[in-house]
A = this chain, B = another copy of it.
Amino acid sequence: MTTIPDHAHTADPVANAAPRGYAGHKDDQLSRLHKVEGQVRGITRMVGEDRYCIDILTQISAVTHALQEVALGLLDDHVRHCVHDAVRADEAEGDAKFDEVTLALRRTLRL
């Protein structure tokens, strides 16, 4: 689906060290995601142990909320960096990025 492997082809070592927009927040995102992994394992365990449904639903709400926070953080970094750079570089490239963002939002909002 993605065909944008390589905007990191510059020889600039700084750009290569932090190629994606979200790199600056990467540690935060990774620690959130590690927490989500633990929460999902917890949900699997609760189902395996026949725990009370309503308590499992509460955990699922917490996980989907955490994942949407991660998604919003990624999207925010994406528009500030990838979209921003595309817009400043070239109209057509900017338009393509806007199309991608709208499509991603459409999926996120289930539209």
Number of identical monomers bound together in the oligomeric complex: 4
| Chain B residues positioned under 8 Å from A43 (CB to CB) | 33, 70
User: Looking at chain A's contact residues, is the secondary structure mostly helix, strand, loop, or mixed?
Assistant: helix
A26-B1 contact in complex given A71-B60, A104-B57, C-beta closer than 8 Å: no
Give which listed residue, B4, B30, B58, B102, contacts A52 with CB less than 8 A.
B4
User: How many residues of chain A have a CB within 8 Å of chain B?
Assistant: 71
By a beta-carbon cutoff of 8 Å, the part of chain A in contact with chain B is: 1-2, 4, 8, 17-23, 26, 29-30, 33-34, 36-37, 40-41, 43-44, 47-48, 50-58, 60-61, 63-65, 67-72, 74-80, 82-84, 87-88, 94-95, 98-102, 104-111
Task: Write the chain B residue with the least CB distance to A48.
Answer: B30
